[in-house]
Structures are given as C-alpha cells and as structure tokens.
Structure 1
Amino acid sequence: MTDMTQRATRSHRSFVLAAWVLLLAVFFAVYAAALFTPPLLDDADATHAQAAAHIAETGDWVTLMVNGVRYLEKPPLPYWIAAVSYRIFGENTFATHLPNTLAVLGCAWLAWLWCQRAWGDRAALYAALGTLTSVGPFLYTRFAIPEAILTFLLLLALYCLITGLESRRPGRYYVAWAALALAMLTKGLIAPVFFFAAAIPMMMLSGQWRRWRELKLYSGLALFLLIAAPWHILAGLRNPDQGHPVGNIPTMGNVHGFWYFYFLNEHVFRFLGTRYPHDYNRLPFLAYWFLHLVWIFPWSLFVPAALLVAWKTRHSWMQHLKRDAGQTVDFYLDNSGREDLASHVIRLKFRSRTVWLLGLFSAFTLLFFSLSTNQEYYTWPAWIPMIILTMGVLASIEEAEEDRREGRSQLRLGGTGWLVTAHALFAVAGVIIAAALGWGLWESRNLPFVSDIGSLLAHRGVGDYSLSTSHLFDLTGPSFAALRLPAGIAAVALLVGPLTGLLLRLAHRNRAATISVALTSAVFLIAAHIAFARFEPMLSSKQLADTILQKATPADEFVILGDQSDASSIIFYTHRFFGHPAELVMEQCSQHSNGSSMLWGSCYPDAPKIFLNEDELESKWGQGPRHWLFAQDKNRSKAEQLLAGKLIPVQTIADKTLWTDRPLQ
C-alpha cells in the first residue's frame, strides 16, 4: 500500500468517525432525549400501547386485544417489539416509543450505506443527517405508529436486493426476503406490493431481469412464507367467523372472520374508500402533494437543484443504467484527473440503478396513497428515499464545483446557483419566522404561564380532527404564553442558522453550509418537541389517570362516554390497577359505532360486557361500586343532561372532564 493510499485510508476513517460522532450527537439530542415526554397520547398512541401491553402481560402473541376486545385490524410486529420493550423497561412512554426511535436511526444508517456506495462519503453524511433532521420523520415518531419500522424494513429489503445484484452476494437476497416478510408483518400487503412495484421495473429497465434465477425465488419465497404466514394462519384460526351482522356491517359468513376483515376490509376496501367503519379522510389533492415539501423540510429546499440536475443529465440515465458509463470519449475527458476512474465507473452504474429503484419506489408510494384514503404520514416510506436522492445530487453538485475550481475535472453538473438561492430563501424565511416569534414573545410578556394550554386553545375542528395535525389550527394568542421557551429557542435558531449557512455557501464552504442547515433544523426540532410536550393536557389524559390512581379503589369502575380512543391513555395507565376493562357508553356491534376501533372485535360473542347504553349508565350511576365518568367536550352536554344533578366534578383539563357519582372523602 502506497503512502498516498494509506493517507487516503486514514483520512476516510477520520471522516467516518467524525461524521458518526456528529450523527449520534444529533440523534441523541433530537430523538433519544424526546423519548420520555410527553406521556402517551389518547387515540392511536395509547391504543397501540394497550395492544402491546396485552401481549406482554398475557403472552398471547396471536390475537391483539385493546381494552379486552379483539383488535384485528393491524399486523403484529410493532406490538411484538413494544411488548418485548415492556418486558425489559416496563410499561411506559420510553418503552413504547423506543422501537420507532431506533427505526429512525436504522433508516439513517441505511441512508448512509446507500449514499456512500452510490455517491460517496459526503452524500452519506448528508443523507443520514437529512433523515435525522427532517420534519416528517420527527413529527410522526411522536406517537406509536408502524411507519418508521416499515420504512426501515423496506429500505433494508431494497438495499439488499440492489447490492446483491451488484456484488453477486446471494446471501443478501435472503436478507431481502426476510426483511420483506417482516415488513408485511408490520403494515400488511402494501409492503410486498410497494417492493415489487419498484424492483420489477428497475430490473426490466436495467436488463437484470435475465438474472432472476440468482434471486433465490423458490428458497427465498419459502423463507418469506415461513416468517410471514404463521401469524396470519393462526390469527385466522383463533378468530374465526363468530360475528353476527347488525345494520350495515358486512356479513361475516364462513370465510368472513379474521381473513375477510384483515385482507379485504383493511386492505382492499380501505384503498377503495369503502372500508367499514369509514373513519379516514383523504387529503385535498394539492395539500397531499405539496405537504411532502414540508415532510422533508428543510431539505426540500434543494429539491429544485436535484430536479435541475436530473433534467440536465436525463440522456445518461439509461446509458448508465444498462452499460458502463466510461465508454465515451467525453466521459474520459471530463474525468481525466481521477485516480480511481474504474471505481468511479462502478459507482456510476450503482448510482443510476439506485436512482431508478428509489425513484420508482417513491413515485409508486406517492401515487398509491394519492388514490387511496390517506393520512399525512401514510407516505412515510417514500420520505427517506426522496432524501437519499436529493442528498446524492446535492453532494454531487458541491463536489463537481469544488473539482472544477481545483482543476481536477472539467465536468459542469449545474445547480450551484440554486444552492445559493435555496440558502437565501431559507435565510429570508428564517428572519421572517424569527421576527414573528419575537413579536409573539413580546406581546405575551405580561401574560401568565398556563400549564393547561388546552384551556387557551380555540376549538376550530379543522378536518373534524380526523387528520393528525388538526390541533395545530387551534393555536391562539394567549396560548403563546405557554410556548415562550420553545418559541425563543426556535427564533434564535432560525435567525442565526440560515444566515450563517448563506454566508458559508457564498464563501464556497459547501460542506459547512449544508451541515449548518442540519444543525439549524436539529435545534428547531428540539424546540418543537418542547412545544409538543406543552400540549400534554390537550393530547393526553395522563393527569386524569393519575387522579384516578390517587383517589380510586380497584373495585371502582371507569366509564367513558364515547369510544375507548377518547381516553385510551387513561385505560393504559390504569388497567393494571383496576384489573378489568373500562366500560363504554356506545353502541356495540352496530352501525352507530361508526369510526370505532372497537367495532369488529365487539361483534364477537365473547366480547366483554363493557358496552352500555345511556339508560344502563343512568340506572347504575350511584349504585354499587364508585363510578368514574370521562367525557370530551363534544359529549359533556350529553353527560350533564343524562345525569343532571348526579355528577360530582373531579377534574377538568383542556377539553376533557372527569366526574364521579358520590363525594370523595
């Protein structure tokens, strides 16, 4: 090994070490530190936690249960992982959200590996930083949903496929098949559908379909089935047709048990918008598409540059995809200064196939959910591929400019002008937002800090609160007083960071400029999490659960006027104390239960007797053991009318109230 090679190796190792020190510092500051607050939220967060707790406590790894009722609509892997986490760390917020947090770190690691192989070390650093500092991945790991785990597994499967083809390492195909099976156990049939929708066209375009025998189709498919099939079979056998159709609930005939509900209702009918119950919206067309600039922000600032370069180099896409990129005279002239031309050619081939594979995967995912019912986070699996592609081009633009300035290459990739423009836009936006936050801080300087921010919010009901970000539209001026600390941190970050990045870009310190964007975003996300935790009274009922645990006895009964999702965090935090399910004042197994996650499970004859009608609630109120009644504001007037003169208020936070039926000692 020559001295130059040794120096290059040491330099590479030093860069990798420094890069991962930075990445892990960002990860712990942004993600790991946020694992403890706020407590579990109502609705999906605590509902999914209940399903995992049931596994941890009973050892039933087949049939998910929520509040004692079958929860048949979700695959089990995220709940299995959370149950293991509960066995190790206890049933708490940290253990619930740890799997998703580690999945994001896994996505950053895969982004590093993929970009390092396709574009080099700089792109690897940028892609990993982009994964850890984008808005969407951060926002949608604040509660327990499976998308982060799904994304990691799908990326792993795609990476093992493409590197197996490039390196002729057949063992990677088995990893791909196993990851794909686990992805199916995470989110269902969309996992193999999305994978093959990208893999098959890429192999057809590149001519690699002729190597299909290398993919271990038969043994790989056997491995896939060995991992994915047993749970589906056991779940069907343990949850056969026992339902009785009521109203317009689909008939559950001989084959209309779990398999009908899971495969048809939760997959086919959900896509078509005919799922029962119909409880999901579809984002408006323009909002759906343009919100993706928010989910990968601030890195979406560089998407125009990536598209510009993609258009400029469009004629080389197929050439690089199908044959060696180094067969033209122009290529050798443009890269005559390179000492590693052979490895550069190999990288170009892998890069081209990466662009096609991840581009097809992202495009299909986005198109699929644009046609289906959707929530904002459904396209999570496409965000990391989009970040990888953007960062690969960003690094290429920077390196091409630096090579040209130092005489190592004559290649003109373009896009450098937009990099400066992107930083300028970021700086202008940062100054405007910092000024707005500063004005809010000044205006709220004399307002008292109110811990219950929910009492200061408007209840505008945007999207009828069916979208995960609906409560953002409830912010008011007085509520700003509760957000002074995060607003101050965000204002400083957005004022200093983007301006610093612009100056660094103008000084041609490209790497430092790009890292400044990541650090600005990281500080902003830390502030965002502090603000998010301040919304605890609005989003979680943990304070009411604490009150119940202090004042109740295990013989008491907890009743929810509405669906279990309205107070799912109370159920999670009190279920061990009570030792029996909460009661719900709602229709059981009826069309009036529209939107409830309890609907299908409640149709089974062995469902616990926890469903009360209003007459039953009225007749038992004040009789037998003490009763605790919970209602959100939307049901408060109903409770006061139904039990007029019999309600003893215990506690009100934000938009929810807790009553009991006899005076507290």
Structure 2
Amino acid sequence: MTSDPSKPHFSILATSFAGGPRPRNAALILSGLWLLIFCTSLFTPPLLDDADATHAQAARAMLATGDYVTLHVDGIRYLEKAPLPYWITALSLRLFGFNTFAAHLPLALAVALLVLLGHRWANQAFGARTAFYTSIATLTSFGIFLFTRILIPEVLLSLFLCTALFAFLKSLEPSPLNENNRVPHVPTLGRGLEPAQTSPETERPSIAWYAGPHFYPYVMWSVLALAVLTKGLVALLFFFATTIAYLTLTATWSDWCRLKPFTGLLIFFAIAAPWHILAALSNPATADHQGFLWFYFWNEHVLRFLGRRFPHDYNKLPGYAFWLQHLVWLFPWSLFLPLGITALNRRYRHQVETLTGYIQVSATAKTFLIVCIALGVGAILEVARAFRLDSFTAGALIVLIFCIFWIVTRRQRADLPQSPFHRIDPQQRSILLLSLFAAIVLLFFSLSTNQEYYTFPAYLPILLLIAATITRAEQTYSTNPEARRWITFAHASLTALGTIAALALCFGLWTSRHLPYNPDIGTLLAHRNVGGYTLATSHLYDLTGSAFAALRLPAVLAALALLLGPLLAWHLRMQRRHLAATTTISFTAAAFLFSANLALARFAPLLSSADMAQTIQHLEHTGKITPDTQIFLYGDQALGSSIPFYLGHPVELVEGRSTSLLFGSTFPDAPHLFLSNADLTAQWGQGPRKILFVPAELQSKLPHLSGAFLLQQTSGKQLLTDRPLTP
C-alpha cells in the first residue's frame, strides 16, 4: 500500500499498511525507549529502604562472606527467598562496584530480554506489527516501569516462565522450515485476532530460533529450573497448571513425548536441586527451631498462600482493588482491553450459534441443568467463603464455570469433541496458551495473600494479546464499525485522562509558583498514611502545595506529554496513520515515565536513607569519628536498610527483632545484633561512640537518651550520636 504523497508522514515509521516499521527503525525506536525509561533510572534515585536495599544487602553479603547458599541480611540468615536474583546481583556488584547502578542493572537487562522474547513470540505468531506493538507496550506499561524500580525478582520470573511457555509451544510444533529453508505461510485465524492477509514486510524469523523441535524441550526444562531458583515452587504451579489445561483443551496429550520428560527432568533437577539440597544441609532443623525445609517450603509457600505465614507481615488487597489496579499497571494499553473482550465475545457467540443448530434441549434436561448450576454456585460460594474471596471474583468464577459447563455439555450432546480447541491453528494456540497463563496467575493471587506486583508474570501475555487485538482492529478499521468504535473509545479516554491530569498538574504548578524550592520533600508532605504506606503509590496522596514546589520540572514535562501526546495520537488515527498513532501513544507514556522517575528522585530523601550512610562515611573519612563507631538502627532493619548496604557491614538493631529477620535470629550462631530499649539506654554514652538512626514513625517510642546530639535530620528521620564530634 502506498502512502499519499500530499500528506506529511513520519519517515521513521514508513511501512506497508499490514506490516510493522522497518527492522532498523523498529530497533532504533525500541532501543531509544529502553534507554530513556530504564537506563536513565539506573543511577538515581539511590536504593530505597525496605525490599530494595534489603535484597541488595543479601547480594552484597554473598561477596563478603563467600556463602552463596544461605542468604544473609545484616548478618542474619534470610531463608525466605530463592537465590538466583541475588547471584545475578552479586555478579553485577562484583563487576561494577557496590552502588545503585550495579544493583539495578540486572533489572534493566531483564526488561530488555523480556522485550526481545515478546517480540519474537508475537512476530512468529501474529506478524511484525504485533511484535512491534508488544515491544513498545512492554517498555511503556506503568506497572513494568514501577515494579522494576525495586530489586524484586518478578521481572526475572516473568522472563523465565514466558520463555518456558514459548519453548513448550514450539516443542509441540513441527519444524517450520520447509525444504527450501523458507518460512511458510502463517495460517489465518478466521474469527480470531488477525486478518487473513499476511504482511509482505513481516519480519523473517532468525534461523537460530529454529534449531528443531528437539531443542526446545531442553530449553523449556532449563528455564523452568531457573524460574524455580528465582521464585520457588509457585513457578512450577503456574507452568504446569497452564500446560496441563492447554493439553487437555487441545486434546494433544498424545504429544507429551515431544516434551522429553525423562531427559528434561534430569536437566531440571541438575539445575534446581543442588541449591535446595545444600540449603537444607546448611540450615538443618534442631530441637529449638525449624530448619530450612519447613520455613522455605511449608511456611513460604503453603502458609503464605493461606495467609498464615510466620511472621504475619503480608496483606491481601480487597477484590475490587486487586482487579481494577491492573488497569493502572497496564496503562495506557489497558484502554484497548475492550477490543480483546469483544473478540472473546465473538468467539463465545460463535460457539452458541453453532451448538444451537445442533441440538434442542428438553424440559428434563433444562431442569437437570438448573439443579447442576445451583449446586455449582453453592460450591463456589463455599470455596469463596473459605478463601475470603471477594464477591466480584466469586461472581466471575460462577459465570466462567457456567460458560465452560454449557459449552462442554452441549458439544457432548451434539456428538462433537468436548473441547472447541481440539483443532486450532498456530495463532490460536498462542492465544489459548497466553490466556490460560494470565488467567491462572490472576486467579491464584486473587485467592492468595498478595502484593501489588505479584501478578507481574501475567503482564507480558496480556500485553501481547492486546497488541494482537490492536493490529486486528487497525487492519479492519475501515470495514469493522465495532473495532473503530472501541479504538475511538481508547483514544477519547486517553485524551480525557491526559487532559485532566495535565490540568491538575498545571493547577499544582500555579498554586506553588511563589513557594520556595525545598529539596527535602519529606518534610512537606501531609503524612496521611494511606494504605499504611504498603501501596506503591501511597506517598502521592501526601502531596501538598509546598511539596509540589519540589516537583516543578517533572510536573511540567508530564503535563506537556499528557496534554499533547494523546491529541497527536488521536489526530494521526483519524488520518488512518495507525502505526504512527499507536507509536505516539508509546512516546507519550515514555515521556510521562521519564518525568515520573525524575519525581521519584525528588522523593529519595523520604524513601531512602542513603544520604545518612554517606554522612557516616564522610565523618569517618574526615576523622571526626573513629572506625570502631557502633551504628544502631531503631526498629525493623527494613526501615533503614539502605544504611547497612552502603556502609558495607551489619548494624545493630534496637527493638528490631521482627518480620524478615525474626526466623533467622533463632539459629544458635546468629550474631547478637538485637538490643532492647534498656540495652540502648545502658550502652548510650559508654564505650565506643554510638550513632543511632531513628525513623520518623518511631521517634515517639524512643526512650530518653541523655546527651544525644543530632547529626542529621532528613524527612523526619534522625541520625543521633552520644557525644560531640571530634574537631
């Protein structure tokens, strides 16, 4: 299809209608987005207190102690996590030093690999345009950006599990190369997500990815073992629940031998088993306490799922919040979810219409069906009550099970195969596998205790499916009123939300125009304690006019992006320049996320205590304090975990024997780092100099310390010492 020479166009996006951008242009755009969003944030802000610096401590302790089997935090056994993310982080710290860049580099690289995987999968299943859209959506989704600001293993788990699923799917397919070493025609999806035509500019997959069907099973078992070493047995649950459901629905159990289960399991255990065995031997159970096997397998897997983990320090989000938050984590691409829902509805209507023509249901059968539905609803409600399931999730389960029951029973009475997926093409196989995996992950964590980022592994499958529906809608834009209506809805919603957010930012800029800039934004917040500060966006609710004055630059950039980007994207869509329109949405999101990282850096004094660690190091380097100075943290180590990471040695904890270090402190060889208020009062002013870090929220619980001198105060956090500084 040739473009109209009378209309201006973005040359970097010049392409045929059905294809994506040229490979060189696509690589340039994707590299630019990755550098802008993920590489610029490697240096700032510093490691944050709580999970970010705690996990970095565990990696640094590996290098300090030489113990790569048992994790340690502040010198205490830290047995609740699998080791692979810490091995990778330790390698980065060894290569690049003990700094913020080295700690966060593995996350940025993992995102890049996740993008490459999504691009490859989408390209082989749907074509070059869907591959490009999957990549830009992965790079610019809010949730992927937000949950890679913290050193948590979810992005690695997503990478390994999705790679295992891709290898599983390829293992069940014959080699796609024909005798002339050419990529064959990709079958059409009919009523699915892709049009009948195939782009002449669809990227030709690399021959290296087609090493033969015998190669993929070993990749599958290998990366599955890495997933277990990343997050534990939940990786096996997600993978096998998905693959078993897939083999059942597609009636392909006869192909199980293609997965090389016997030799594959040998590879799996050769990779995954050694660490578990060594960890059990290094941390055995004794008469006084449980060992590694109980704590890691039973406590961290079973009891965590049931909400009875020891210690009980995890929450369960309300049902409505759990489901609705994914509209934020997948934003702005979640605005196109109605396209996928309409495609799913078309498939269901097609099944209903097909089966209605086959059979007539008698009155007796209808009565029996009603009784079965009533019993099923009652059983689901009992399960919902047992797992404290919210009404929304329970209702969705009831509707889903009813639809499945209706189709299966009707197909059986019509003398058809029970599963409608028994004969599907490669595109539909990818859709089915990705949908099953995402649904299982979301459903599992709707039942379990959860954190906001636990469903991260479902993001790439959902984004890939959204990208496929966008491609389908764009290619039928002129002939499909339904697709045109929902694309218009997405652009109208994005424009409205962007305009509202931009106006709110402009109002904040105007009201704070005469207020002075204060780099310590933590002293200016309202401290409303929304969500107990366990939500990723809790501190945004604390913003005041004075605090907003510290966010002028990111606010201006975000306002411009949100005001102009959606309007430009909608304008390009109206001109039928679909590739440019969708790419403009990604540029808008990228500009906003870049601004968000600038804002996060302004919150650094509140969220991190790295500046206090620098103060201690500076005092030691200038000789104002001696190397034997004792460093104390008041409360749980997570409240100031960036201090021991940047100092490079354990610190003593006052009234801090809790949460993640509680179980490890029960081992006989645990160092005596835990003090009480009475111990602190008795030691204060005696022996070597004492420096005490006190979080803002615990200052009211601090006992009276005579002769305390304030060294530094930032965002309400205090650094105290028991004697004046040496000149």
Alpha-carbon distance between aligned partners in 2 of 1:127 and 1:317, rounded to the nearest angstrom: 29
- 2:321 matched to 1:287? yes
- 2:432 matched to 1:356? yes
- 2:509 matched to 1:447? no
- 2:245 matched to 1:201? yes
Alpha-carbon distance between aligned partners in 1 of 2:34 and 2:609, rounded to the nearest angstrom: 28
Shift of 1:430: 1.2
Contact 1:148-1:381 within 8 A present in 2 as well: yes
- 2:719 matched to 1:658? yes
> Which aligned pairs between 1:243-322 and structure 2 lie closer than 5 A?
244=288, 252=289, 256-314=290-348
Alpha-carbon distance between aligned partners in 2 of 1:657 and 1:447, rounded to the nearest angstrom: 26
- 2:704 matched to 1:642? yes
Alpha-carbon distance between aligned partners in 2 of 1:275 and 1:583, rounded to the nearest angstrom: 26
Alpha-carbon distance between aligned partners in 2 of 1:565 and 1:283, rounded to the nearest angstrom: 21
Q: Secondary structure at the match of 2:80?
A: coil
Alpha-carbon distance between aligned partners in 2 of 1:311 and 1:542, rounded to the nearest angstrom: 52
Contact 1:309-1:414 within 8 A present in 2 as well: no
Alpha-carbon distance between aligned partners in 1 of 2:672 and 2:561, rounded to the nearest angstrom: 54
Shift of 1:466: 2.8
Shift of 1:14: 7.1
Q: Which of 139, 144, 147 pairs up with 1:140?
A: 147
Shift of 1:57: 2.5
Shift of 1:309: 2.0
User: Unaligned stretches of 5+ in structure 1?
Assistant: 1-7, 245-251, 320-346, 405-411
- 2:240 matched to 1:179? no
Give the 3 Å change call, closer, same or farther, for CA 243–482 of structure 1 in structure 2: farther
Q: Which of 465, 470, 473 pairs up with 1:397?
A: 473
> Which aligned pairs between 1:569-584 and structure 2 lie closer than 5 A?
569-575=642-648, 579=649, 581-584=650-653
Name the amino acid aligned to 2:530.
Answer: V
Name the amino acid aligned to 1:605.
Answer: P
Contact 1:505-1:513 within 8 A present in 2 as well: yes
Q: Tell me the residue number matched to 2:671.
A: 608
Q: Tell me the residue number matched to 1:556.
A: 629
Shift of 1:115: 1.1
Q: Tell me the residue number matched to 2:681.
A: 618
Contact 2:617-2:647 within 8 A present in 1 as well: yes
Shift of 1:15: 1.2
- 2:522 matched to 1:460? no
Shift of 1:435: 1.2
Contact 2:452-2:536 within 8 A present in 1 as well: yes
- 2:595 matched to 1:527? yes
Q: Tell me the residue number matched to 1:416.
A: 484
Higher helix share: 1
Q: Percent same amino acid at aligned positions? A: 49
Shift of 1:192: 0.9
CA deviation profile, 1:3-42 (whole Å, cap 9, x unmatched): xxxxx99x98971221111101100011111111011111
Aligned length in residues: 600
Contact 2:693-2:718 within 8 A present in 1 as well: yes
Q: Tell me the residue number matched to 1:335.
A: none
Contact 1:239-1:257 within 8 A present in 2 as well: yes
Shift of 1:469: 2.9
Q: Secondary structure at the match of 1:460?
A: coil
Alpha-carbon distance between aligned partners in 2 of 1:657 and 1:524, rounded to the nearest angstrom: 33
Q: Tell me the residue number matched to 2:135.
A: 128
Contact 2:491-2:570 within 8 A present in 1 as well: yes
Shift of 1:459: 1.4
> Which aligned pairs between 1:463-612 and structure 2 lie closer than 5 A?
463-551=531-619, 552-575=625-648, 579=649, 581-586=650-655, 588=657, 593=658, 596-612=659-675
Q: What's the C-alpha RMSD, in Å, of the aligned pairs?
A: 2.0
Q: Tell me the residue number matched to 1:164.
A: 171
Alpha-carbon distance between aligned partners in 1 of 2:515 and 2:30, rounded to the nearest angstrom: 39
Name the amino acid aligned to 1:159.
Answer: F
Alpha-carbon distance between aligned partners in 1 of 2:47 and 2:21, rounded to the nearest angstrom: 41
- 2:283 matched to 1:239? yes
CA deviation profile, 1:505-534 (whole Å, cap 9, x unmatched): 111111111111100000000000000111
Q: Tell me the residue number matched to 2:447.
A: 371
Q: Tell me the residue number matched to 1:407.
A: none
Give the 3 Å change call, closer, same or farther, for CA 318–386 of structure 1 in structure 2: farther
Give the 3 Å change call, closer, same or farther, for CA 587–148 of structure 1 in structure 2: closer
Q: Secondary structure at the match of 2:615?
A: helix
Shift of 1:433: 1.2
Alpha-carbon distance between aligned partners in 2 of 1:602 and 1:373, rounded to the nearest angstrom: 25
Name the amino acid aligned to 1:561.
Answer: Y
Name the amino acid aligned to 1:271.
Answer: F
Alpha-carbon distance between aligned partners in 2 of 1:166 and 1:357, rounded to the nearest angstrom: 14
Name the amino acid aligned to 2:80.
Answer: E
> Which aligned pairs between 1:313-352 and structure 2 lie closer than 5 A?
313-314=347-348, 349-352=425-428
Q: Tell me the residue number matched to 1:328.
A: none
User: Unaligned stretches of 5+ in structure 2?
Assistant: 1-14, 176-212, 354-422, 620-624
Q: Tell me the residue number matched to 2:4.
A: none
Q: Secondary structure at the match of 1:570?
A: helix
CA deviation profile, 1:432-451 (whole Å, cap 9, x unmatched): 11111111111111111110
Contact 1:147-1:380 within 8 A present in 2 as well: yes
Contact 2:664-2:670 within 8 A present in 1 as well: yes
Q: Tell me the residue number matched to 1:409.
A: none
Contact 2:161-2:224 within 8 A present in 1 as well: yes
Shift of 1:59: 2.2
Alpha-carbon distance between aligned partners in 1 of 2:70 and 2:264, rounded to the nearest angstrom: 27
Alpha-carbon distance between aligned partners in 1 of 2:52 and 2:529, rounded to the nearest angstrom: 20
CA deviation profile, 1:197-235 (whole Å, cap 9, x unmatched): 111111111122110011100111111111111000100
Alpha-carbon distance between aligned partners in 2 of 1:448 and 1:361, rounded to the nearest angstrom: 51
Q: Secondary structure at the match of 1:418?
A: helix
Q: Secondary structure at the match of 2:172?
A: helix
Give the 3 Å change call, closer, same or farther, for CA 434–450 of structure 1 in structure 2: same
Alpha-carbon distance between aligned partners in 1 of 2:538 and 2:279, rounded to the nearest angstrom: 35
Shift of 1:167: 3.3
Name the amino acid aligned to 1:366.
Answer: L
- 2:248 matched to 1:218? no
Q: Which of 84, 90, 93 pairs up with 2:97?
A: 90
Tell me which moved more, 306-315 or 96-105: 306-315
Alpha-carbon distance between aligned partners in 1 of 2:481 and 2:128, rounded to the nearest angstrom: 19
Alpha-carbon distance between aligned partners in 2 of 1:37 and 1:208, rounded to the nearest angstrom: 50
Alpha-carbon distance between aligned partners in 2 of 1:586 and 1:203, rounded to the nearest angstrom: 53
Q: Tell me the residue number matched to 1:630.
A: 693
Q: Secondary structure at the match of 2:631?
A: strand
CA deviation profile, 1:515-566 (whole Å, cap 9, x unmatched): 1110000000000000011100010001111111112322000011111111
Give the 3 Å change call, closer, same or farther, for CA 516–625 of structure 1 in structure 2: same
Give the 3 Å change call, closer, same or farther, for CA 180–610 of structure 1 in structure 2: same
Contact 1:309-1:415 within 8 A present in 2 as well: no
